[in-house]
Amino acid sequence: MHKKVVTKKWSLGLKNVCRWLGLSLMVGILMACGEDPQQLFETAQFEEQQQNRAHAKELYERILRDHPKSPIAHKAEERLKELKKENP
């Protein structure tokens, strides 16, 4: 009986840690989605690595729409073209 109580408490503790880690990750990503085009580009690349191509496309499009003259806009345009080729 004592082992079950300890295991249950540990399990609840682990769930809370996972929730906090997930929340921290989401906050970090949201902070990275600032208006700085370099940050937007880095976040889009992270989204690509996470296989979230739809959100990556949105971020690349946002760079092109909101920061068309930024130095990173050309790279964003190239990545967007590649993603559209892969999955129109």
38 Cβ contact partners less than 8 Å away, ≥ 6 residues apart? 70, 72
* Amino acid code (one letter) for 77: E
Q: What is the per-residue pLDDT for 9? A: 64
Q: What is the per-residue pLDDT for 81? A: 94
Q: What's the pTM?
A: 0.60
- Asked if residue 83 lies in contact with residue 53, where contact means CB atoms within 8 angstroms, the answer is yes
Q: What is the per-residue pLDDT for 10? A: 64
Per-residue pLDDT of the chain (88 residues; tens, 9 = 90+): 566 655 666 666 666 665 666 655 665 565 555 589 999 999 999 999 999 999 999 999 999 999 999 999 999 999 999 998 887 6
